[in-house]
Structures are given as structure tokens and as C-alpha cells.
Amino acid sequence: MDLTAFDTSPQDVYWAATIFSGLVLIIFWFEYRRTRGKLFVRENQMKRRMYELSILRELGERIGYSLNVQKIIDIIRGSLGKLLPYSIVAYMLPNEDGRLIFNVALAEPVSKSFVAEVKTRMLKSFSALFDEVYSADDIDESISGVVTDPANPAKVESLFNVPIVINNRPAGIFTVAATKPDMYKTSEEVEILYTIMNQASEAVSKLETVLEVEKGKLNAMVASMADGVLMVDNQNRLIVVNPQTLAMLGITVPEPTIFDVLDTLSEHFDLRTKIEESRRKDKLIVEQEIEIDEHFLQILISPVKDRKGLMLGSVVLFHDITHDKELEKMREDFTSMMVHELRSPLTGIRSIASLLTTDKVKNEEKKYKEFVELISNNSNSMLELVNDLLDVSKLESGKFEIFKRPGDLRHTIEQRIKSLNALAQENKITLQYKVLPEMPQTLQFDENKIGQVLNNLLSNAIKFSLPGGEVMVAAFFCKKSQDLPQQAANFGLPWQGLKAGAVCAIDAVVVSVSDSGVGIPAREIGKLFNKFQQLSTAMKSEKKGTGLGLVIVKGVVEAHGGQVGVFSEEGKGTTFYFTIPV
Amino acid sequence: MADKAKILVVEDEEILLAALKEELLTGGYEVDGAMDGLQGLEKVKSFKPDLVLLDLLMPKMDGMEMLQKLKGDSETRDVPVVILTNLSDYERISEALSLGAMDYLVKANYKLEDLLDKVRMVLARKQ
């Protein structure tokens, strides 16, 4: 209709207005309908969203800190009815023993064959998901909800599987099935299922990650412990065992169980009984000195409880006390050696002194003189031992004091050489002395104490050199990070058994005493500066001496901020050196 | 006693050896000394003592080893041995006695009479 073609009359205007209004009304009506439809959909969406949220909140609260997937799935299943219609809802999960849990809840009284079909279809999906073939025999089934109705002919018309995924690993499947066709086809329905499953698995995954991190920290801590640690639960199943435990017990099987541990200990004591006893009495049990493979273990067994006091299991700690025992033994040996070293000569002195009073000895001039000399020598060496012991004990208690003053080290060395020349000649040993260039004129050091150090090193060198041998004393300057053996070689010093690697820590003067003696076996070198081992070695040696000299050398040099070292080659000779910082 | 009984003292502590030798000389015995087990074994063969006083803790060859060697050799098996020892050595004493030593003398604080008594007793038992 072409309105503009009319001549405008009031009637025409009326009609036009009427038609126009009608059109507007129609348009508005359509518009209204459209908007209403949109609102309705939005309202529905909101409703669903609210459901979802409330379910998720409920899930969140009820899941709490549970990592038990089955529990979580149970919760989801319990709430799903509010969102989706179904005849049955089921899930399938692997359990700890490698079997399958098939749990189904009936919302409608379907038949057993309905359930069986769902089970078969789920099993198929499950096998595909886990890439492993499971049969119906692997299934532990449990059915809840309304009672099955054998007479219900309804078949499975709709079925939907959702995989349960935790931390990107498949954990099981969740399935809804209905007797009505064409369900679970719309994106909304599917979305609900996926959303809920995702949220749940995300929550568990996060929790699992947190726990994994915590567990990782704990494991790292346990693994890095020097002591052996193992934990068992209330059923005495091994939960944690660190490598130290296995090493201490000599267990080498790849995946040890508590039985490996129990077996290893069985000949010493019954760990299982002790673990149970400690849980029963709720107290720490300590097993002292269990000897395994020449190692002594102290074993502590303690119950473990959570914050509420609920018993969780037990922890067993293995503490290697071999070293402590060795130290104790060394200390005992040291004491008895010391007593022996002092008592034997003292007994001799007493006997000889008493003999000196007898007329028989009095009248024999030669014997008399000999006995007096014996007393004198022996009291001297005893005094030496007592002095050495005092020095060592001062060094150990940190009461050893040095008084550093500027002095000429060369002078100190010369003096000591002079004083020991007689002993050297007696042993047919030549003493040599070499001062190398760049030696500073003055140095801060304690002249008496360094004199004692030189004395000890020189008399050792003379003592352990063969007749006709040579002892060389040298002093030179060594710059920070300079290679010490290299320096010695450059200067043409007769250091035997040189090994690379010794570096001057700071600018220092190096003093070395080298002999051409029997040398020291490599395994003995570590013992040289240990007082306990030195005295007992000295006792067995045919050379006289307390063996404490080197312990004192080390103490004095370290008090100066210097270092001591030794190079040796059996049959060729030994070099002891020490440094004094410049 | 027609002949003087011969006693060998094996002791590494020089002054104690000197004292023991002198004391036994004074007691009327013929005495020789050795300062370690090796020397001791040689002296047992050359000096042919009627009694050996033997220290346990010695360099080169200790008393226990020397005792074993003595008892393992038919030539020297019957020479009586008295162990010289320190107070705290009960374990060693019983070991030495089980190896065939006849008696022991505690070195610390021994008196001249104790020494001579013990020697007399052991020599008498031997006859």
C-alpha cells in the first residue's frame, strides 16, 4: 500500500495511524516475546549456575582435605540429582589391590540387566581409558538406592561417561544412564557433568600437588638425614624408608618392605614386637648397641600421633654410634697408654732408687753411675711427656696461648739446628739448612713456640732417618694461591712423595723439614696429628717418644694462623712443612 | 742349690729392666735381659733360662706372641713364664695364663720380696 499516493484526508490519516500503530504493536509484541525468551533462558542459566555453585561449595567443604577419590565421587554423585535426571548413576575406580570398584546408585527401579549393561559399557570405556584389559571378574560391585525391579523391561536408552582425571592422570569413570532416549545430548547437560567433574578433579589435583610438595620436602629431609629413618602405619606397613636405613642394614633389594627390615634385625631383636609395644605403651623405646656388619646402631622406636592424639603409626630411627664408640675406645686406650707410659718408668725409678741405697750397688762405682743416669734420663722423659700432655690439653681446651712478636725466623731455625746437631751427629745424620730468596726479614711469631715446633719436627726427622742420611730444613716465601709443591720443586728441595694440590692459602713463609728416612705409609698419614692414635702408635714403635709432638706442632702452627702438611714416600723420605702467615 | 737358677727378664722399659735384673742378682740368681719379644726368643735359646719374666706390651714382638712361640716350640715349651703386667690387664692376664704362663706379677708397686717370693715359688713348682 502506497500511502503517499493518497490525497491526505482525515479518514486516510486515521487508517494510516491505525495500521501504523498496529504494526508498531506487532513489532513490539515480537520484541517483547524475544526479550522475554532471553530473560527466561538467562534465568534458567542463573538457576543452573547457582546449583552448580552450591554443589561445588558443598563439594569443597565436604571434600575438605580428603584425597580419597572414591569419597569425593560419592559426594558428587549425591548432589548430581539436583542438576540432571538419570535412572542410575555409577562410577568405576581402581582400588589399591588392583581390583575395580563398581559403585552404582539407582534413582529408578531398573532391572538387573540394565545395571549389567551399564557395567559392561563402563568396563569397556574403563579398559580403553587405562589402556589395560579388565574383565568382569576384577570387579567388586556395590549397589545402592531404590530396589531393582526384575519386571522392568526398560533398556539403556541414554548413557554418558565422564572420565575422572586427577593431575592429568585418569583415575576412573563416572557414568549416568537413563531409560529415556536422547538424554545427555544437549551441550548444557554434558557441560554440567564436565564442569562438576573438572572442578572436583581440579580441587583434588591441587590438594594432591600441595601434598606432593609437602611430601617431597619431607622425603628430601628424611633422605638427607645422616640417621636412618623409617615409618610404618598402624598395620606396620612401610610408608617411608630413607637410603641411610637401607645402607645401615645392608638391604639392597630394589623395593624393600618391612619384612626385609624385620629379617635383617631378627637375629638381634624383634622390631615388630618393639614397634607394637611402643604404640601400646605410647612411649619411646631405645635399643642400645645393635651390632650389624661391624657397625653399632642405636635404634629408637617411637609412636606417631596426629594433633588430636590419634595413633598414625610408628617411626624408627637408626643412629650409627660406631664412631662414638671408637672415640670412646680411643680415649680409654689413650688413658691406659698414658698411665703405662708414666707408671713403668716411675716403678723403675723407685726400684733403682731403693737399690742405690744398698751397700752392694754403693760399692760398685760403675753400676752406681749407670743407675743415677737411668733415673735422670727417665725422669727427663717423663717430664717431657707430662709437658706434652699439658700442652695438648691446653690446645684442646683452647687455653693454649701464643705471644707473637716481630722476630727473625732464620735466627730461630739456626738456633734449633745448632742445639740438635749433637743428636744428629750421634745418629750419623747430616743437618742442612737452606734459606731461599724473598724470605722476609722479620715476621710476627712466638719464638719459643715455633722453636718447639722446629724441635719436634727436627728430632722426629733425625729419629726416623737411617745412619748416613740427611735432614734438610728450608724456608721460603709462598704467595697466596701459589702451588706449594711446585714452589718446592722450583727451589730444588728434596721433598719426597710430592702430590699436587697443596696451595698457599695466604701469603706465608713456608718452613719444611725433609728427611731421607723410611717414609710413612699413606694410610698412616691421617693419623699423624691425632693424639689418641699417635700415642698408641708411638708405644708400639721401637723409637722412644710420646708421639704427641706432631699434635703440638699442629696446634702451635694453627694458633699462628698457619697450616701444617706432610708429603711422604715409603723408603725415600718424608717432608713436614708448616706455614706462618706474613 | 748347687747351680744358680737362671732368669731371663724381657721388658722394654730400660729402667725397669735394670731394676729387675739388679734385684734378681741380689736375690742370688743368674740374670739376663731382653728388650723385646724377638730378642727374648733368641735369649731363651742361647741363655737357656729356668724362668722367664715376660712383659706383655713391647715393640717388635709383644709378650703374648712371644709366649705363644715359646709354648709352640718343644724345645722351650717347658720353660716356666711369669707375666709382668699392669693392674688393669686382667683380660690379658687370663689370656696369658690360658696360653700356659704359670703366674703373673703386677709391676706397679711390686716389692722386692714379692718378686723374689714369686720367683722362688715358681722355680720350686717346676722341680
For B30-64, what is each residue's pLDDT tens digit? 999 999 899 999 999 999 999 999 988 887 888 88
Looking at the fold, whether A231 and A97 belong to one and the same domain comes out as no
User: For residues A254 and A257, what is the distance between their CA atoms, to the nearest angstrom?
Assistant: 10
Q: With beta carbons less than 8 A apart as the criterion, state whether A146 and A174 touch.
A: no
Assign residue A410 the CATH number of its domain.
3.30.565.10
Q: Would you call A356 an interface residue with chain B, using a CB distance cutoff of 8 Å?
A: no
Domain boundary residue among A349, A379, A396? A396
Contact: B23, A340; criterion CB under 8 Å:
no
CB-nearest partner of B59 from A360, A374, A540: A540
Q: Are residues A101 and A127 in the same domain?
A: yes
Nearest to A343 among B19, B23, B108 (CB): B108
A191 plus A340 within the same structural domain: no
Q: Would you report the helix, strand and coil content of chain B in percent, each value rounded to 5?
A: 45, 20, 35
CATH of the domain at A356: 1.10.287.130
Q: Is A566 on the interface with B (CB under 8 A)?
A: no
Query: Do A542 and B16 lie within an 8 Å CB cutoff?
Result: no
Does A518 contact chain B (CB < 8 Å)?
no
Q: Is B6 helix (H, G, I), strand (E, B) or coil?
A: strand
**Distance between CA atoms of residues A469 and A416, nearest Å:** 19
Of A336, A352, A377, the CB nearest to B19: A352
Contact A178, A85 (CB under 8 A): yes
Scanning the structure block, which residue is given the C-alpha cell 494510516?
A16
**Phi, psi values for residue A44, rounded to 5°:** -60, -45
- Asked if residue A150 and residue A236 are part of one domain, the reply reads no
Q: Does A545 touch chain B (CB under 8 A)?
A: no
Q: Are residues A31 and A78 in the same domain?
A: no
Inter-chain residue contact B15 with A374, CB threshold 8 Å:
yes
A347 and A203, same structural domain? no
CB A475 within 8 A of CB A536: no
Amino acid at A247: A
Same domain? A170 vs A77: yes
Specify whether the CB–CB gap between A217 and A307 falls below 8 A.
no
Q: Does A358 touch chain B (CB under 8 A)?
A: yes
Shared domain for A19 and A146, answered yes or no, is no
The per-residue pLDDT for A26 is 63
A54 and A121 fall within a common domain: no
Mean pLDDT, all residues of chain B: 87
Rounded to a whole number of angstroms, the distance from the CA of A289 to the nearest CA of chain B is: 22
Contact across the interface for A539 and B57, Cβ inside 8 Å: yes
In A275-340, at which residue ranges do the beta strands (DSSP E only) sit? 285-292, 295-305, 311-320
For B112, the closest chain A residue by CA position comes to A351
Cβ <8 Å between B18 and A352: yes
Please tell me the distance in Å from B72's CA to the nearest CA on chain A.
24
Query: Residue A225, Cβ neighbours under 10 Å: how many?
Result: 14
**φ, ψ dihedrals at A46, nearest 5°:** -60, -45
Question: Is B125:B102 a contact under the CB 8 Å cutoff?
Answer: yes
Spatial distance between the Cα atoms of A373 and A385, rounded to a whole number of angstroms: 18
Please list every residue in chain B whose beta carbon sits closer than 8 Å to the beta carbon of residue A539: 57, 59
Inter-chain residue contact A371 with B18, CB threshold 8 Å? yes
Q: How far is B114 from chain A (nearest CA, A)?
A: 13
- Cell readout for B91 is 683380660
Query: Do both A99 and A117 map to the same domain?
Result: yes
Q: Which domain holds residue A7?
A: 3-61
Q: A-chain residues within 8 Å CB-CB of B110?
A: 347
| A238, three cell numbers | 612401610
Q: Which of A347, A370, A396 is the last residue of a domain?
A: A396
C-beta neighbour count of A25 within 10 angstroms: 11
CB-based contact, A435 to chain B, within 8 Å: no
A382 close to B (CB below 8 A): no
Out of B17, B23, B88, the one facing A355 most closely (by C-beta) is: B23
Nearest CA to B19 out of A361, A127, A292, A313 is that of: A361
Residue A439 covered by a domain: yes
Per-residue pLDDT, A70 = 78
Whole-angstrom Cα distance, residue A502 to residue A487?
10
Number of CB pairs, chain A paired with chain B, less than 8 A apart: 65
Q: Where are the domains of chain B?
A: 6-120
Q: Do A345 and B16 touch (CB under 8 A)?
A: yes
Walk along chain A (582 residues) and give the pLDDT tens digit of each residue: 444 444 445 566 566 666 665 665 666 666 666 666 666 666 666 666 565 555 555 555 555 445 567 777 887 787 787 778 899 999 998 887 778 899 999 999 999 999 999 999 999 988 888 888 888 888 889 898 889 999 999 999 999 888 888 777 888 898 999 999 888 888 777 887 888 778 777 777 777 777 777 777 777 777 777 788 888 888 888 877 888 888 888 888 888 888 888 888 888 888 888 889 988 988 888 888 888 878 888 888 888 877 777 888 888 888 888 888 888 887 887 777 777 778 888 888 888 888 888 877 778 888 888 889 889 988 888 888 888 888 888 888 878 888 899 989 888 999 999 989 888 898 898 888 888 777 788 889 999 899 999 999 998 888 888 888 889 898 988 888 778 777 777 777 777 766 766 777 788 898 999 888 888 887 777 778 877 666 556 555 555 666 788 888 999 999 999 989 888 888 888 889 999 998
Q: Considering only CB atoms, which chain B residues are within 8 Å of A371?
A: 18, 22
Residue of B nearest to A349 (CA): B15
Tell me how many degrees the CA angle B96-A535-A581 measures, rounded to the nearest 5. Answer: 170
CATH of domain B6-120: 3.40.50.2300
Beta carbons within 10 angstroms of residue A314's beta carbon: 23
CB < 8 Å to B9, chain A: none
H-assigned helices in chain B: 14-26, 37-47, 63-72, 90-98, 112-126
Indicate the helix (H) or strand (E) that contains A406: strand A405-407
Distance from CA of B10 to the nearest CA of A (A): 14
Q: What CATH number corresponds to the domain at position A316?
A: 3.30.450.20
Q: Does residue A219 form part of some domain?
A: no
In a domain, A135, yes or no: yes
Tell me the nearest-neighbour CA distance from A551 into chain B, angstroms.
Answer: 22
Cα of A344 to nearest chain B Cα, Å: 7
Rounded to an integer, what distance in angstroms lies between the CA atom of residue A296 and that of residue A319? 8
3-state class (DSSP) for residue A331: helix
Q: What is the spatial distance between Cα B115 and Cα B27, in angstroms, rounded to a whole number?
A: 10
What is the C-alpha separation between A91 and A77, in angstroms, rounded? Answer: 9
The reply to whether A181 and A299 lie within a common domain is no
Let me know if residue A466 belongs to a domain.
yes
Instruction: Choose among A347, A352, A378: nearest Cβ to B108.
Output: A347
| Contact between chains at B112 and A361 (C-beta distance less than 8 A) | no
Domain stop point among A396, A415, A444: A396
Residue A220: inside a domain, yes or no?
Answer: no
CA of B35 vs chain A CAs: smallest distance (Å):
10
Which amino acid appears at position B65 of this protein? E
CB contact under 8 A, B60 and A542: yes
Sheet hosting strand A508-515, strand order edge to edge? A430-435, A470-478, A508-515, A573-581, A564-569
What one-letter code names the amino acid at A382?
M
Residue A328 sits at the chain B interface (C-beta within 8 Å) = no
A184: domain CATH number? 3.30.450
The reply to whether A34 falls in a domain is yes
Task: Report the chain A residue with the minimal C-alpha distance to residue B35.
Answer: A542
Contact assessment for residue A268 and residue A262, using Cβ atoms and an 8 Å cutoff:
no
Instruction: Tell me what the mean pLDDT of segment B3-14 comes to.
Output: 89
Residue A218 lies in a domain: no
Question: How far, in Å, CA of A471 to CA of A452, rounded?
Answer: 17
Q: Do A378 and A286 belong together in one domain? A: no
| Domain count along chain A | 5
Judge: A542–B59 Cβ closer than 8 Å, yes or no.
yes
Cell reading at A326:
671408637
Are residues A355 and B57, on separate chains, in Cβ contact within 8 Å?
A: no
Residue A418 has which C-alpha cell? 745448632
Count of Cβ atoms closer than 10 Å to residue A359 Cβ:
7
Between the alpha carbon of residue A182 and those of residues A159, A177, A195, A197, A555, the distances in Å are 9, 11, 21, 22, 92
The gap from C-alpha A172 to its chain's centroid, in whole angstroms, comes to 36
DSSP label at residue B58: -
Distance, CA of A47 to CA of A56 (rounded, Å): 14
Q: What is the pLDDT of residue A556?
A: 92
Chain B positions in Cβ-Cβ contact with residue A370 (cut-off 8 Å): 18
